[in-house]
Structure 1
Amino acid sequence: MLVVENLNVAYKVNRRLKPTLHDVSFSIAPGEVVALVGGSGSGKTTTGHAILGLLSENGHVTGGKIMFRDQVLTELSPKGWRSLRGRAVSLIPQDPTVSLDPLRRVGEQVEDMLSLHSNLDAAQHRQRVYELFETVGFRDVELRYRQYPHELSGGMKQRVLIASAIAGEPDLIIADEPTSGLDATVQKQVLDLISDLCRRSRTAVVLVTHDLGVAADRADQIGVMEHGRLVEVGTPDQIFNSPQHPYTKRLVGAVPSRVAVPVRDVAAVEKREPAITVTDLHKSYGDIEAVAGTSFEVRHGETFSIVGESGSGKSTTARVLLGLTEATSGSVSVLGKDITQLDRRGYRPLRQDIQIVYQNPYSSFDPRFDVFDVVEEPLRAFQPPQLPWKRKKANRDRIVAALEAAALPPSFADLHPAELSGGQRQRVAIARALVVEPKILVLDEPISALDVSVAAQILQLLENLQKERGLTYVFISHDLAVVRAISDHVAVMQNGQIVEQGSADDVFSRPSSPYTQKLLAAIAGQKLVHL
């Protein structure tokens, strides 16, 4: 159905062409799934956009060709693309929040595709959208049609994008990180939907992903990309059991489910004094009870993970620990102080002892700041006002020490976040948290947006820091494979309550809650255990 032959792409930067893809070649048959995997900047998304004719204005195909059935896509005019795109070839974009118009009902946005590629009247359009919404797993389709994007969860919004992508009954879909950031159960539902589409309609899918577990479970062929080159192509069995290229070997070696789970002395951890004690915590927003009576202890120097689906209450619990949200009732002791009895001023001295690393570091940085200013920001909050040049001179040694602790050279202090990769930005975020020498770090999905090899580096960094500094971690995540690899104890949350908690080994090897069992069954990469 699709043949990509010696594809070369370059981007014009400062009037010069910068090569990005180099002689990329692969093919895909009807009903087949080809996954493109690799690190950030490897060229996998550029490949997908080139197939769809959606390169940015400064992007150009400089060599090779793309054949779709009997058409040469690289020679299509804009008019030719308009007749083809959405009808024969379609896109499921990565971020539904960006891809959906916040001011229009989602049903109307799916109708747009039908208006372009069908001869149905208005009533038939709406009926067809209802059918598409049923296909993607919605129940009350009339309600969903009327809703706006902000009224839907991340998984629901992604289903709307899939409904839009399949509205024209395309032969080929480019799925660009279609489940990035989704919970394991929602991810499984979305991937099951795509797999069912391939099976029923013989739709071919180019799946762009950094999740090797997803690629192993869902792809017929996997293409590994590095620096704009397709360095290896093979079946999941070939890629994971007999990788040939050094880069493929490094990627496979970094998959959490393939990393040997370290033996943790849980008995020794349980003898330590608690750093955090939460007792019968409740947090309500109006009539909605986000946290409904949770209790747990986090001991000094341990990694305590809280897992669950979106809306389970794990992030709200973290916000209470950080003093960013007041508890409705219950008690929360942090380093011996009941923070539910403290106002903002009373909590302030604790802020040096408990810091947070966010999921998306870039959105938590002031875009006007260089790295020095970003890392220095917490220090400034606890220092008296002084002249900037005096303050920077006094703080420089601490900034450099924090960067080095996060495995970054001092020269990074002069760069801006926009000049850094995703992994480097996350290291800057860790440096910012470390600069005030805290005792506790709350890590809110700190690696969910990172490629597997970069994520492995960040996790190793966190483990080293914990050993060197005795840090206590509260790790918020939906990536259960990672949680198993790094945790001493795990709490599983559902609908604001902890339904199961215990040592990582007990929770993962002998889950007692049906909900925990459901979560574990949904983990991507189950096949990796057997490959």
Structure 2
Amino acid sequence: MNGDSPPESGAAPGPVLSVADLSVGYRVGPGTRTAVRNVSFELAEGQVLALVGESGSGKSTIGHAVLDLLPGNGRLLGGTVSYRGRTISGLPARQLRQLRGRAISLIPQDPTLSLDPIRRVGSQVDDVLRLHTGLDAEARRTKVHELFELVGFHDVERRYRQFPHELSGGMRQRVLIAAAVAAEPDVIIADEPTSGLDATVQAQVLDLIDDLRRRTGTAVVLITHDLGVAADRSDLVGVLRQGRLVELAPTAEFVRSPRDDYSRHLLDSVPARLEFPDRGSGRAPSHGPAAVEVTNLRKHYGDHVAVDGVSFTVEQGETFAVVGESGSGKSTTARILTGLVPATAGRVRLLGTDVGDLSAKAFRPLRGDVQIVFQNPHASFDPRFDVLSVVAEPLRSFQPVRSRHRLRRENRDRVVAALEAASLPASFLHRHPRELSGGQRQRVAIARALVSDPRIVVLDEPVSALDVSVQAQILALLDRLQRERGLTYVLISHDLAVVRAISDHVAVMRHGRIVEQGAVAEVFGTPACDYTADLLGAMSGRQLAIR
């Protein structure tokens, strides 16, 4: 360990971190809402504890409480946090600042919010060394270079001088990891360190944390809603529900035979364990024209080629997935299909109609047949609108101005029918999106896509931001709607477990090109391309697959 560690980090026997009967609350109006209730656990050197559970279960609150980083309305209601046998909850702020980063450090969930946008990233990592070591400026700069190499950066001096906006999400996450490990702490609190990252970047980030654990004996509290990550990367799993720790067990035992009903429910909801009939081997071509035909599609943004000669066909009634890392061109392809951006070259036929040369006005009648569900529905909703107005938006777009008043009641009836199809009651009509959970907002987004009775729906990362049990509900809903309505889905995703669960065919994109495509069972079972094999090898949660 680092020779500059504080006195309390000496090799005392017993656990490196202990949490005993921890209860945390938040002031809400005149009262206090309890978010964590009587949680206890211990962590030895080199151990990884994964805290799992749905949003609002108290995972992040525990991590912030350990470091006394609760927001202004949060407070400790009871219990203690101890570091190497010494109680640190309630310590004066100055002593806690000495411990943070040096003995216990945090990898925050959102690098965009956690990095100062107007400072170079190298100087932000340097802050940790300046506060917690006796190194001079030149030695600190050298150390930051070493840390950047450790987290997988090349051309480290260039990275040192860059600002956060010049880095990708995965790169920003690596900067936060470099800062967290700079002083070689005894404990790392990793709060959703890979949320939203591509499979390969996720694997690299987790490998970095695991390498530090092996080299230095650092203990890790891994806060995650991804049970695949928990199964692959932890020694212990703690399951939280409504602020209570309902199960704490060795990971292998938890995966094999969870004791709590809620734990079993979570495990049964992971995509690797979902079973939808007739998926994966590819379906026979349907009668009539293909739903989507793409031929030699290209899209340029200045000198950057985002989509480079892409071709594929999607039959009516099937799910065709497009996978790849960020920047591979998959979302650009989706936006071309829906008419949101024009292609530079190539041909797109939708339901037998060549749309490549259509003007916006000529494409308009086809928009009712082709709808999109975005990754973040909240960002695609007008915050002034209630659910009725949000879902009815496509209907208003397709109606002449003179008929809108006369058709208002008809539109309301169609909105109610779309909500019911998405498993939402009519009582939601006059709620606003901010009043809904993440899963409810995604159902509203699906209802909005359904209200015009489309034949093709583009799903752009439809479940990536959702808890595992909500993911399962949305995937089951999409499967039911497809079977009832004969819908064609084009699924854009970086989650290969989701793709395997609900898709018939898949195309793998890299640098704007399709490097492999075919039936899901064939591509995932015997990949012909090394890149596809690398993506599959980076998947988390293989231990959770149906046995």
Q: Could you say which TM-score interval applies, normalised by the shorter chain?
A: over 0.9
Give the whole-Å Cα distance in 2 for the aligned partners of 1:326 and 1:394.
Answer: 33
Matches within 5 A, 1:363-512: 363-385=379-401, 392-512=408-528
Task: Tell whether the 8 Å contact from 1:353 to 1:440 is kept in structure 2 after alignment.
Answer: yes
1:160 aligns with 2:175: yes
Give the whole-Å Cα distance in 1 for the aligned partners of 2:89 and 2:432.
Answer: 37
Give the whole-Å Cα distance in 1 for the aligned partners of 2:289 and 2:271.
Answer: 30
For 2:111, the equivalent position in structure 1 comes to: 96
Task: Tell whether the 8 Å contact from 1:269 to 1:302 is kept in structure 2 after alignment.
Answer: no
Q: Deviations over 1:452-475 (max 9, x none)?
A: 111000000000000111111000
- 1:395: how far off? 2.1
1:231 aligns with 2:258: no
Q: Deviations over 1:21-41 (max 9, x none)?
A: 111111111111100011111
Q: Which amino acid aligns with 1:498?
A: I
For 1:75, the equivalent position in structure 2 comes to: 90
Task: Tell whether the 8 Å contact from 1:91 to 1:175 is kept in structure 2 after alignment.
Answer: yes
Q: Which amino acid aligns with 1:421?
A: S
Q: Which amino acid aligns with 2:305?
A: E
- 1:91: how far off? 0.9
Task: Tell whether the 8 Å contact from 1:181 to 1:448 is kept in structure 2 after alignment.
Answer: yes
Give the whole-Å Cα distance in 2 for the aligned partners of 1:6 and 1:68.
Answer: 15
171, 174, 190: which one aligns with 2:186: 171
Q: Percent identity?
A: 61
For 1:309, the equivalent position in structure 2 comes to: 325
39, 51, 55: which one aligns with 1:36: 51
Q: SS of the counterpart of 1:200? A: helix
Q: Which amino acid aligns with 2:128?
A: M
Structure 2 unpaired stretches of 5+: 1-15
For 2:4, the equivalent position in structure 1 comes to: none
Matches within 5 A, 1:216-295: 216-260=231-275, 262-264=277-279, 266-269=282-285, 273-295=289-311
Task: Tell whether the 8 Å contact from 1:358 to 1:446 is kept in structure 2 after alignment.
Answer: yes
Give the whole-Å Cα distance in 2 for the aligned partners of 1:392 and 1:165.
Answer: 56
Task: Tell whether the 8 Å contact from 1:261 to 1:484 is kept in structure 2 after alignment.
Answer: no
Give the whole-Å Cα distance in 2 for the aligned partners of 1:371 and 1:27.
Answer: 45
- 1:4: how far off? 0.8
Closer, same or farther: CA 386–9 of 1 in aligned 2, 3 Å: farther
Give the whole-Å Cα distance in 2 for the aligned partners of 1:281 and 1:448.
Answer: 27
For 2:13, the equivalent position in structure 1 comes to: none
- 1:199: how far off? 0.5
Task: Tell whether the 8 Å contact from 1:371 to 1:412 is kept in structure 2 after alignment.
Answer: yes
Task: Tell whether the 8 Å contact from 1:262 to 1:485 is kept in structure 2 after alignment.
Answer: no
Q: Deviations over 1:147-167 (max 9, x none)?
A: 122221211111011011111
1:142 aligns with 2:139: no
1:345 aligns with 2:346: no
- 1:259: how far off? 2.6
How many matched pairs?
A: 531
- 1:114: how far off? 2.1
Is the deviation greater in 477-486 or in 235-244?
Answer: 235-244
Task: Tell whether the 8 Å contact from 2:289 to 2:352 is kept in structure 1 after alignment.
Answer: no
For 2:216, the equivalent position in structure 1 comes to: 201
**TM (normalized to structure 1)?**
0.97
Closer, same or farther: CA 267–20 of 1 in aligned 2, 3 Å: closer
Give the whole-Å Cα distance in 1 for the aligned partners of 2:392 and 2:113.
Answer: 31
Task: Tell whether the 8 Å contact from 1:272 to 1:299 is kept in structure 2 after alignment.
Answer: no
46, 49, 67: which one aligns with 2:61: 46
